[in-house]
Chain A
Amino acid sequence: MSTNKIDPNKWVDRYSDYLFNYTIVRVNDREVANDLISETFLAGLKSMKNFKGEATERTWLISILKRKIIDHYRKSNSKKGKAEIKIQYNDDSSEGDWLEENAPDRFDKTAEDVMENEELGVAILECMGQLNEKQAKIFKMKTIDGFDTEAICNEFNITPSNLWVIIHRARTILAQCLEKNWY
């Protein structure tokens, strides 16, 4: 049985989009999301020795991130007034060591919707892992960030024809990858 290993130098390439997507749904602010992920990476580096290899690296990073997000909510709640916090957290839980279960996992949006869309988002991001680096970057810029064809062509020094060939390959791979579960 092989245990999961840790490789921090690969974290950004492997997980940052996934972590970002997970966070932005919950905090709805890019700056805050970026900060929380920075903190997560640093906390991860500091507690690497606690990683037992039982969970995947990604699951482990998410568990750290979850705490950061809840901490963030806790802080912004305490700015609004302490009364709210009492409802959300157990009185007997000590600072920084309160139970995760007692905090709301999903915030404003309808839980089911968020969950299904999130699952879908994870599936898509995982399938994107099958693209090579250039395909993934170009596909993302074009499809998710909505950049102009011209802007992308300039950035990568390619012709529009090149771009559409890359987009075509990416879309074919993604459609095939998602076919099993989502079509």
Chain B
Amino acid sequence: MNNKKTFLVDCSEAAKCCDKSQYKESSIAEKVKMLLHLVFCKNCRKYSSNNTRLTKLIEKSNIQTCTEEQKKAWREKIKKEFTDI
């Protein structure tokens, strides 16, 4: 991504704000600046739409993963059983 500076924020800041928005962690001020940037920057518009789509896909898939503790327990169990064979 080339770093186009358009109205107060550059592409990397716009992208960061876009990422934060996916987790509802961007402030209103940040959002306004990002939206202004998007008006003038095609690359960031593309990133933003892909990024939003990714959020929707993840929500839709309803993925659930196991905890790290559980993984650790499994790793140890397998290692033990495997060497016992």
Residues of A within 8 A of B42 (CB): none
Q: Is the interface of A mostly helix, strand, loop or mixed?
A: helix
Question: A41 near B58 (CB under 8 angstroms)?
Answer: no
Tell me whether A20 and B64 are in contact in the complex, defined as CB-CB below 8 angstroms, given that A8-B78, A142-B23, A174-B54 are known contacts. yes
Min CB gap A168→B, angstroms = 5
Q: Is A45 positioned at the interface, with any CB of B under 8 Å from its CB?
A: yes
Interface size range on A against B:
35 or more
CB-based A-B contact count at 8 angstroms? 96
Q: For B25, list chain A residues within 8 Å (CB).
A: 149
- Please tell me if the beta carbons of B65 and A144 are within 8 angstroms of each other in the complex: yes
Q: By the criterion CB–CB under 8 Å, are B53 and A20 in contact?
A: no
Docked-complex contact B51 and A175, CB < 8 angstroms? yes
Of the listed stretches A50-58, A68-76, A88-96, A120-128, name the one at the interface; the rest are far from the partner chain. Answer: A120-128
Q: Are A164 and B50 in contact (CB under 8 A)?
A: no
Q: A9-B79, A45-B82, A149-B25 are in contact. Are A20 and B57 (CB under 8 A)?
A: no
**Could you tell me the distance between the alpha carbons of A79 and B51 in the complex, rounded to whole angstroms?**
47
Given contacts A12-B74, A24-B64, 17 further A-B contacts (CB under 8 A): A9-B78, A12-B75, A16-B74, A17-B66, A20-B66, A30-B66, A37-B66, A38-B77, A120-B60, A125-B63, A140-B65, A142-B23, A143-B58, A171-B19, A171-B22, A175-B51, A183-B53
For this complex, 28 residue pairs linking A to B, each with C-beta atoms less than 8 Å apart, are A13-B75, A16-B66, A16-B70, A20-B64, A37-B66, A37-B74, A38-B77, A42-B77, A45-B81, A117-B60, A120-B60, A121-B63, A143-B58, A144-B58, A144-B63, A144-B64, A145-B65, A149-B23, A164-B19, A164-B20, A167-B19, A171-B19, A171-B22, A171-B51, A171-B54, A178-B57, A182-B57, A183-B50
| A residues adjacent to B (C-beta < 8 A) | 8-9, 11-13, 16-17, 20-21, 24-25, 30, 33-34, 37-38, 41-42, 45, 48, 117-118, 120-121, 124-125, 137, 140, 142-145, 149, 164, 167-168, 171-172, 174-175, 178-179, 182-183
